[in-house]
Amino acid sequence: MTDLETRAAPAESALRRAAPALLGYAAVRALGLLTLALWSAARDKSAYTLLTARWDALWYTRVAELGYGYEVRLPGGDVHSNLAFFPLLPWLERGLAALSPLSYADAGFAVSLLASLAAAWGVFAVADHVYGRRAGGCAVLVWAVLPVGIVQSMAYSESLFTALAAWSLYAVLTGRWVLAGALASLAGLTRPVGLAVVAAVWAAGIASFVRERSTARADGARPLPRALGMLLAPLGAAAYVLWVGHRTGKGPLGYLDVQAGWRNGFDGGYAFARFVGEKFTSFPSALAGAGLIIGVGLIVWLYVVGVRQRQPLPLLVYTGVVTALALCASSYFGSKPRLLMPAFPLLFPLALALARSRTSRSVLVVGGVAVASAVYGAFWLNGSGPP
């Protein structure tokens, strides 16, 4: 066997191990896309347009086609600049469009489809490593049937980011520090929440150094690759933020000004709390407010359960930062479920519960939720959508 064949064997074995979970994921996504197509046709809309040429997908396509510098000035004085959108997805759209007959929108859809499969495999790899194969498969399916799971098939950056984050976390858990840092750097070029991946790599690296000092022996990690991985991790996000600051002439904090033009910022959750509180001014909206409180409570409960189940430190740090940035930002409140989607370790307690149930019961539960998710996704995308 050649060296190349030797290196390829573990990857082939890992793919075979994940294959049932990936097939289940593909089936759920196919159901969602079919439901969306039928629902959109009934409303005389194009499902493909909804997936590739609306909301953020359109902004990414414009970056790929025209580069940075496009902005929209609103009557109220706000400025929506495409500098708010990190560059990795547009770069991939541009590259794929240049190498194929695909348009930029087509390329974005293709990248998202491939990235969603890579993300599902990454979710499986992390859960399988921590809890075993059955829990890994259940984690993938739970992630697939999220109510906003249709976003995983859109020309958005969530699937690409989740893929990079999941495989970076897996690399950390398996001691591949340089790979972890490189993937964290790419995640930082994908979305602002790439900081969560950087924090996870750094937390794991610091904890590893501390263990070595406290035990006066190495814990199996080589110091140089670990330090190099930690050094690589923040480079992507830092490079883009500094470039935006230079381009806008506003220094290192220029990106925050760009986000302010979109009314995005971090206020510790004040705006979100006020938004929820305003729901209780009338009876019908009070039900929505109660639902939001229950939803936030469920997220907090899942995180606490993850802590009690002793999830590894990098997973807890990553999930905590993603959740905090999603819930405590002053951005458009309808986008918060989408922003929480990359926090896949939150779903591990649910995956473990499914894994411990009888197979017939698990299939029934996942199948029912998949149908409900597909219907909701079609309704949502044909309505308010995921700005």
What is the tens place of the pLDDT at every residue in 330-348?
777 778 899 999 999 999 9
Residues of the chain with pLDDT > 90, as a percent, come to 75
The span from the CA of 279 to the CA of 277, in Å, is 5
CB 151 within 8 A of CB 158: yes
What is the tens place of the pLDDT at every residue in 89-115?
999 999 999 999 999 999 999 999 999
Segment 158-173 shows an average pLDDT of: 98
Residues of the chain with pLDDT > 70, as a percent, come to 96
- pLDDT at residue 115 in the model: 98
Using CA atoms of 348, 350, 356, 361 in order, give the dihedral in degrees to the nearest 10: -140
Largest distance between two CA atoms of the chain: 71
- pLDDT at residue 218 in the model: 53
Segment 209-236 shows an average pLDDT of: 82
Segment 4-17 shows an average pLDDT of: 68
pLDDT at 6 over 80: no
Which residues have C-beta within 8 Å of that of residue 190, sequence separation ≥ 6? 86, 88, 89, 157, 160, 161, 164, 236
pLDDT at 273 over 90: no
pLDDT at 221 over 70: no
Segment 186-200 shows an average pLDDT of: 97
- Tally of residues, the chain: 387
More confident call, 13 vs 90: 90
Using CA atoms of 267, 185, 119, 192 in order, give the dihedral in degrees to the nearest 10: 20
Q: Which of 182, 149, 165, 160 is nearest to 87 (CA)?
A: 160
CB 57 within 8 A of CB 157: no
Tell me the Cα Rg of the chain: 21
Band of residue 2 on the pLDDT scale cut at 50, 70, 90: very low
Helix (H) or strand (E) holding 248: helix 235-248
Q: Which of 330, 326, 354, 19 is nearest to 148 (CA)?
A: 326
* Sign of the torsion angle spanned by Cα atoms 181, 187, 192, 195: negative
